[in-house]
Structures are given as C-alpha cells and as structure tokens.
Structure 1
Amino acid sequence: MTGRDDAEDRVRSLAPENARPSGDETDCIMTQIGVGARQGTPPQTPFTDLIPNQNIAIVSQFRLTSGVLLTDVPLAYRTWGKLNDEGTNCMVICHALTGSADVEDWWGPLVGPGLVFDPTRYFIFCANALGSPYGSASPVSINPKTGKKWGPEFPSTTMRDDVNLQKILLDHFAVRTVSVVIGGSMGGMTCLEWPLCTPPGYVLNIVPIATCPRHSAWGISWGEAQRQSIYSDPKYCDGYYEQDDPPAIGLAAARMAALLTYRSRDSFESRFGRKQVLPKPSSSSSTTNPNSNGTAAKPSTQREQLIEKATLEALTAHNDGHRLQSQAVTSSPQPLPSQEQSPPVEDSDIYAIKAPCQIFSAQSYLRYQGDKFVGRFDANCYIHLTRKLDSHDVDHGREGGPALLKIPPGALVVAINSDGLFTLVEQQELANSIPDARLVVVESTDGHDGFLLEFEQINRHVLLHLRQRLPHLYGFAGRPADNEGLAAEPVPSVESKLLKPSLCSEADGGSITDW
C-alpha cells in the first residue's frame, strides 16, 4: 500500500472546496463546524464552536511517538486558496500555545492577496495542535473507547505527533511538497520539526519565528509555575472537574503569569505606568453583618458603625483580586460597655475610613485577560500543552549529528529584540545552526508578543524572503534569487491592528478596566 493509499484509508473527511479532491471520497464525511455535520461526526467540545468555518477530519488510527495508539482521531483545520495541479504550492502555518487553526483570528492582517499569506498564490493549511481544545483530539474530546471525555487521562503528545498527523491529511489532499512552513513560539517549534519528521525534499523552506530548538530551563520553569497555579485551585480535583465548574481561578492566575512572559517591562510601563482605575462595587463591602438567623445586625452606636465599616473596608482591600473573598465579616464587633460614651466622629481618627484601595490599570488588565482566557480555554488542555512545550528538543532521540544541520538550507529565523521568553541570543544560535540560514530582528517594545503585534515588520521580512526563495510563485521565474529587483518590488502595507475582535490574539486588548 502506498503512502497516498494509506492516507485515503485512514482519513475520513471531505476536502474543502478550495482544495483539489483526491481519490474516492464516497465514504468521507464533512464535519464543518456550524454548517451541519453529518451522522458519524465526533461530538463537539464546548470550544469548537468558538472557531468559525473550520473542518474536522477523522483519522481512523494514529500512533503517537510514545507508542500509544489513538483511534478515530479528530483533527481540526482550516484552509485558504487552492492547491495547484502539481500539488506544490502548499503553505503550512503552525499556531502558538493557545491559538487555533483560524489564522485570520490571530494573524488576520497578514492574510490576503499580495500579503505574506496570499491565498491567490498558496494553498494555505493550518491545523489545530493535539491537546488544544479547539477541535483536535485533546483532554476535552471524547475517548472513543469509553465514550467519555478524556480529561487528565489524555496521553502526552509532542510537536512530532502534530507533524505526523497533519501530514496524513496533506497526503489526503494530494500535497506533493510543502513550499514553506511558518510558525511562531510553539508554532515555531512545530515549524522546526516539519522537515525533520518528513522525507527529504518534502518541505522546501521554513520560517521559525520567536522560538527555540529546545525548550529552555527558563521556559520550563515558567510553565511549571503556571501549572501549579491550576493545581492549587480546589476545583481542579486532579483534572476530573466538570466542564461547567472548572478551576477557573487557577487557570486565570496561570494566564496572568504567562502574560508577563509574553510582554516586557517597558511595554507595561509605557502602557500602564501607575495609572489607576476605579474599583468595582463589591458585595463584600456591606456595612451590616448577618446574624445566625440571616437578619442584619445593626450596630448600636456610631463608634461601632465606624469600627465595622473600617473593618469591612480593610478586609475588602486586603482581598482585592481574590475571587473567593468572604461576602461579609462573620462576627460582629463586641458590644461596648453601656456606660462608655461614643466619641465624637471628629475624634475617631483611629477608625477613620480611608479612600478605596488602589486598583492599578496593570492589575486590571491582567484580571481582564485572565477572565477572558477562562471563557475560551480548558485547564487540562493548558497543562497538556505546557508539558508539550517542555518536551521540545529537536535532537532528542535522533542520531546522525545535530538535527538542525538536516533542515533545508536558507531558512529565515525571525527574532523579537525585546523577547524575554525566547531571547535574541537563542535566535542567533538557531540561525547559526541551520545551514545558510538568515536572521532578521523585529524591533518591538512588546516582548515575545511582538510576533503577534508587529504585523508590518513580519509581513515585510517574510514576504521578501519568500519572493527570493520561491520566485516562480511570484512571477519572478528565471530571475536570480538574489536579484536586487526582487527586493525592490513594492511590499503592500498591512493594517496595524486586527480588523475584528479576536479570540486568541493579544493584539485585541479589549477594555483593560473591564474587570
């Protein structure tokens, strides 16, 4: 059986309209979310509906690098453009840690005619990584052997598993060669694995952005701190929580910690400084205390009222940002002796009510992002994916010398100058280790997230590189790859921000005070 025939037998999916069909598809099923899946499609997770216009292919069986055999494996994906008759104009895009298959959601300004992700030139393919909640097999998907959600029992996966699974689908679409693989952060790790997990000559070019050949101790440590935030939530229950009652507080805290690694000190300082926002009214600011029978106990003196109000405000200020704070103080102040006179208000400085506690806009932003994240992601999936990051090492288990030497020459390595998670030094080492690779540095004050924010620079650097590496796809066939005329061709400008609200991108900041 050929690899092509094997792919036909293993994949049950209809090729999207803009892909050239391959082989007999009479027994295929289409599972396009929101269009009405046919009988036999996998149960949708609570998160698949968040991604519009995606498809889900079902791979009958797939063996992970760990040796575990999965059956009826869902693989969510989106495509743009049309595969040419030769099957040689495929562009693969790999998403980051909490991204999805919808490139338009997080790299939207880069998608369009004349831009770096040009559907008039490429058949663009992006699949959801294993372990992510957005449609592919993950802790929130159903274990076909039990009929129940995988939860914490979902087996560990690696970037190599993602490449091997996605190639089955590309074989199904009759893709013969991949012109270029592009990815940032975790997607950059997957990008590095594509030419190493596929036959020589299958992947022609790669563009890893803000990534590394092996996850550093720094990155591993941040991932551990984030997982511990989730583990410490009482609702985590070893991962056996109900979907409608997840460890939201722990997951939000993990997201806040992660955001600090994605940005930089300077970006926070310039955006927030010491600006403050007004705190929202809290139900814990009540000035009365419940008796055991549920009725309010009214303080008998003015002094008691002042003491109680000060006590409650101190409690509220101390627990600001803690979502489990008490709704009220459980015990009333001890009654004063009847002979004691209440002092005049102006003499009660010790009980004076201070101004509401300070809420800095930086705090509000983190809380907003934590709450937003809880609504779109799953805690078990987050744990799974951060462990996938930890496992990343292109040399692990490979023989025959450094793996990076086997990557096709001429890669473009893109670094962010202020990246504190995948540092500029790491990018320089990566570029120096890949044959004939070239390093470009994106100038940004936004740290690691610059790869999701600096649309203009990303578009220019990568587009110019692709014109030189793939001139036949840009009408430059017959011209030398180093011809200065290629660089002189105008590069279309891109929007500096997302044109619609984004689910996954940090470019959509939302209201930083909406918490």
Structure 2
Amino acid sequence: MSLVCEFGNKSVGLVTTEKVTFQGDDYVLNLDCGQRLHPVTIAYETYGELNPDKNNAILVCHALTGDAHAAGYHTGVEGEKPGWWDMLIGPGKCLDTDRYFIICSNFLGGCKGTTGPTSINPATGKPYGLDFPFYTVRDMVQVQQWLVSHLNIKSLLAVIGGSLGGMQVLQWAIQFPEMVHGALPIATTARMSPQSIAFNAVARQAIMSDPQWNFGLYEPQSPPASGLALARMIGHITYLSQDAMLRKFSRRFIQGNTRGYKFEADFEVESYLHYQGSSFVKRFDANTYLFITKAMDYFDLEADYGSLKAAFEKCQSSFLVISFTSDWLFPPECSQELVKAIRMAGKHVSYCNVGSDQGHDAFLLPGNRMGEVVSGFLTRLESEIRR
C-alpha cells in the first residue's frame, strides 16, 4: 500500500510489497499440465484508493522478468530506482492514482514473492527447483483472479500489460469476460512465432549448459551465473531495434578507436550486453527463467480455442491494442492479426501503432505518446460505466 512520502507530486511515494497465501480446498490450483499446486502465495502492490463503487480498479500485468513493484520506491534511498512502470503510474499520470486503484502482482512461477521454483516445496522442505510444475499463462491469470477477488473486487475497469503482460491481458478478457471492462494488450501476440521460440530455446540452453546449473540443483549462492547472463544477453538483443542500437552505440569502441585484437569486449554494444547480463544475475533466478520462457512458448490462442475469432467470441471487453513500429520481436503484424480477429468476433476494438525506434522495449521506456492513447481509452471506459 502507498505510504506518505515526499517524492514530488508525480510519485506514489514509498510503497511496500504485500503477500497473501491461498490455502484450503477452495484454492487448489489445477494446472493446465495436469498437476495440482497448493498452497499458493502471491506478492502484490497496490497504488491509489478503491472507490466506494469498487469500479475503478486496474490490473497491471508485468512482462517476462518484471515483478509486483510497478511504481514508487521501497526505501527512498538516494539513487534507488523506482518501480518498472513508474513513468505511467502516479498522481496525474496515465494510470492516475488520484482516479484509479492500481494492482500489480508477481505472476505465478515468479521469483519475487509469488510461489515459483525458488519457493519451498511443502512436501520436501526444500526449494522446488525443477520439481515445480509447468504452468501456463492461463494458470497465471487464474491466480491473479484469486487476488482480485481477495481484494473484494468483482470487476476491473481495465487490465493492461506489455509483451508477456499483454498475453495475460488477452487471457483475462477470454477467461473472465464478465470481470474485464477494458483490455489493453501492448506489444504482444496471440502466439509465439517459431523465431521467438528459437530465441527462448537458445537462452534456455545457455542456462542448462552452465556446469553450475547442475540439473537445477544449484545453491542460491552459486547459481549458473554465466549461463543466465548469456540468456539475458540473447533476450535483450530482441528487445532493441537496429535503429536504437545505432543511436545508442553505433560502432563505437570502448577505448576510443583502439582495436584490442582480443576476444574481450571491444565495442560499446558488447559492454552494454555484458552489463545487462551481469546485473540480471543479481536479481533473477535461472530455473525461474526456464519455466517462464516455456510458458510464453506454450501460449497459443488459436490452438487453445480453435481459431482466434473463436477465442474472442465470449469477451465482453472493449479492446485497445497497441504496437510499436520498430518492434521486431512482436511486430505490428501480430497486433493487427489480433485486431482483425477481435473485429470478426463482433467486439469493439481500437488500434494504435506507435511510431518509435526503441524496439520491443518501447512500452517500458519514455519518449513515445503511448500514455496519451491509454489515458483517452481509460477516460472513455469511465464514461461508459457512469452511463
């Protein structure tokens, strides 16, 4: 919950991550893989206040390596980075905490407080590791629905998220149509392409080829750091566009124009990727990365529902689909396919292809006008509810 703190009038200030554990016969999670999971703990944060009618709640779904900390600060220590979507969440911002009650949870299988491979398996008293059951985006959404109901919310004004978060948005609108008034899938797709699956497969092999991985039985203090760092480097390349790389790094050498004639990093782009890999190892778990990328690979609305049109036929949401011109991981064509299917299903959908040279990661970065589009859509949803 938000605490009082002087961080300026555009910040939610100091926040804390809360947890709730779902246990008992009503909360046995029957996973798509056929296994059962119980109990399940969820880490989450909220910002703003739920109004008396309880119709101003917005669920934010994070992407591959995100967490529940979407906005504000945990300590207020100088130099601390804010939550991962702080640019959009706060008083007067796109997700205006003076108007909306914002919820963000670490999804099922994460490593930031929600039950996942790093959690203790009650059957053994040790971390699950590779004994954790495989889960899908549909399983993630079921657990989020438990959380929303726990917060005494019967319907959501909107569900919003990018990339894997956008997959969760689509699943929410399909799986719980009566609960979602507006769905905002951003920079996402109805299914992973073979190329995207290939990138994930190589990243997983990088982790599993590290001797420290030890078939998932590594100690937390001795993770497969080299393999996980390499996996992150591989993934991060797909998040940027060629134009963004040219603008940020060009072909500049780290040491002026000096050619080292060695197999260490010579170019600035190499140094950047090494930094991304090494910093990632400090905050993320290798086994968790394996499971999450597999959940993304399995996401396929056409296979699950027979066709994309059929997938959306029971939806009651209005949709705002957003893509970015330079996104080559989930290019605009993926969003346009979604828009076509939603229209064929007879649902209301708006579409915006945002001009940006920042690649797939554009939805996490400042410098585009995505927030204005989202604000306008949310305002329209509010007016519809008041009518």
TM > 0.5: yes
SS in 2 for 1:411: strand
Q: 2:32 maps to which residue?
A: 65
Structure 2 residue aligned with 1:380: 287
Amino acid in the other structure paired with 1:150: Y
Q: Which amino acid aligns with 1:379?
A: A
Q: What letter matches 2:285 in structure 1?
A: D
Q: What is the letter of the counterpart of residue 388 of structure 1? A: A
Structure 2 counterpart of 1:460: 372
Maintained 8 Å contact 1:182/1:188: yes
Residues 342-376 of structure 1 show CA distances to partners (whole Å, capped at 9, x for unaligned) of: xxxxxxxxxxxxxxxxx111111111111111111
- Of residues 400, 417, 423, the one that matches 2:325 is 417
Say yes or no: does 1:256 pair with 2:233. yes
Q: Give the drift of 1:272.
A: 0.8
- Give the structure 2 partner of residue 36 of structure 1: none
Matched, 1:393 2:300: yes
Deviations 1:193-227 (A, max 9, x none): 002222x4211110000001111112111100111
TM-superposition CA deviations, 1:132-164 (whole Å, max 9, x none): 111111111111111100111111111111111
1:317 is displaced (CA, Å) by 5.4
1:204-215 aligned within 5 A: 204-215=181-192
> What is the aligned partner in structure 1 of residue 11 from structure 2?
none
Q: Amino acid of the residue matched to residue 135 of structure 2?
A: T
2:58 partner SS:
strand
User: 3-state SS of the aligned residue for 1:219?
Assistant: helix
1:201/1:451 CA distance change after superposition, 3 Å: same
1:181–1:412 CA distance, 2 compared to 1 (3 A): same
CA distance in 2, matches of 1:433, 1:466: 22
Distance in 2 (CA, whole Å) between partners of 1:81 and 1:460 is: 20
**1:414, distance to aligned residue in structure 2 (A):** 0.3
Amino acid at match of 1:436: H
What CA deviation, in whole Å up to 9, does each residue of 1:314-346 have, x standing for no partner? Answer: 9x954425xxxxxxxxxxxxxxxxxxxxxxxxx
CA distance, structure 1, for counterparts of residue 160 and residue 227 of structure 2? 32
Distance 1:226 1:456 in 2: 29
Post-superposition offset of 1:408:
2.9
Question: Is the contact made by 1:86 and 1:176 (CA closer than 8 Å) also made in structure 2?
Answer: no
> So what's the TM-score if we normalise by structure 1?
0.66
User: In 2 relative to 1, CA 241–52 (structure 1 residues): closer, same or farther, beyond 3 Å?
Assistant: farther
| Mapping of residues 267-278 of structure 1, within 5 Å | 267-278=244-255
Whether the aligned pair in 2 keeps the contact of 1:109 and 1:455 (CA below 8 Å) is no
TM-aligned CA distance change 1:265 to 1:72, over 3 Å: same
Name the CA distance, whole Å, in 2 between partners of 1:463 and 1:273.
35
- Within 5 Å, give how 1:287-298 maps onto structure 2: none
Counterparts of 2:366 and 2:328, CA distance in 1: 16
2:246 counterpart SS class = helix
Please state how far the C-alpha of 1:405 moved relative to its aligned partner.
Answer: 3.1
Distance 1:397 1:266 in 2: 36
Letter of the 1:57 partner, please give it: V
Q: 1:62 & 1:455 partners in 2: Cα distance?
A: 41
Seq. identity, %: 38
- Amino acid of the residue matched to residue 402 of structure 1? A
2:142 aligned partner: 164
- Shift, 1:410, TM fit: 3.0
User: Does the Cα contact within 8 Å between 2:354 and 2:368 map onto a contact in 1?
Assistant: no
Tell me which residue corresponds to 2:17.
Answer: 54
Q: What's 1:173 paired with?
A: 151
Task: Report how far residue 167 of structure 1 moved.
Answer: 1.0
Task: Structure 2 unaligned segments of length 5 or more: list them.
Answer: 4-13, 72-82
1:454 is displaced (CA, Å) by 3.6
Match of 2:62 in 1: 95
With over 3 angstroms needed to count, the CA separation of the structure-2 counterparts of 1:397 and 1:77, relative to structure 1, is same
Shift of 1:467: 1.2
Distance in 1 separating the partners of 2:236 and 2:2: 38
Amino acid at match of 1:421: L
Supply the distance in 2 between the matched residues of 1:152 and 1:438 (Cα, whole angstroms).
Answer: 41
- Structure 2 equivalent of residue 218 of structure 1: 195
Residues 48-447 of structure 1 mapped to structure 2, 5 A cutoff: 53-60=16-23, 61-104=28-71, 105-198=83-176, 200-278=177-255, 318-320=262-264, 359-398=266-305, 402-434=310-342, 435-447=347-359
In structure 1, C-alpha distance between the alignment counterparts of 2:317 and 2:116, rounded to whole Å: 34
Structure 2 counterpart SS, 1:245:
coil
**C-alpha deviations, 1:41-89, integer Å up to 9, x for none?**
xxxxxxxxxx961011101132222232222211111111222233222
* Distance in 2 separating the partners of 1:375 and 1:17: 27
Q: How far, CA to CA, are the matches of 1:69 and 1:386 in structure 2?
A: 20
Tell me the number of residue pairs that the alignment of Structure 1 and Structure 2 aligns. Answer: 355
Give the whole-Å Cα distance in 2 for the aligned partners of 1:130 and 1:278: 44
What is the alpha-carbon root mean square deviation over aligned residues?
2.2
1:70 aligned partner, one-letter code: L
User: Measured at CA, do residues 103 and 455 of structure 1 come closer, stay the same or move farther in structure 2, by a change above 3 Å?
Assistant: farther
Q: Which has the larger radius of gyration?
A: 1
Contact residue 2 and residue 46 of structure 2 kept, 8 A: no
Cα distance in 2, alignment partners of residues 87 and 263 from structure 1: 39
Which amino acid is the alignment partner of residue 359 of structure 2?
G
Secondary structure of the structure 2 residue equivalent to 1:156: coil
8 A contact 2:181–2:318 mirrored in 1: no
Shift, 1:472, TM fit: 6.3
User: 1:227 aligns to what SS in structure 2?
Assistant: helix
Name which of structure 1's ranges 259-268 and 169-178 shifts more when overlaid on structure 2: 169-178
- Give the gaps of 5 or more residues in structure 1: 1-15, 19-50, 280-313, 322-358, 479-515
Q: What residue is the counterpart of 1:352 in the other structure?
A: none
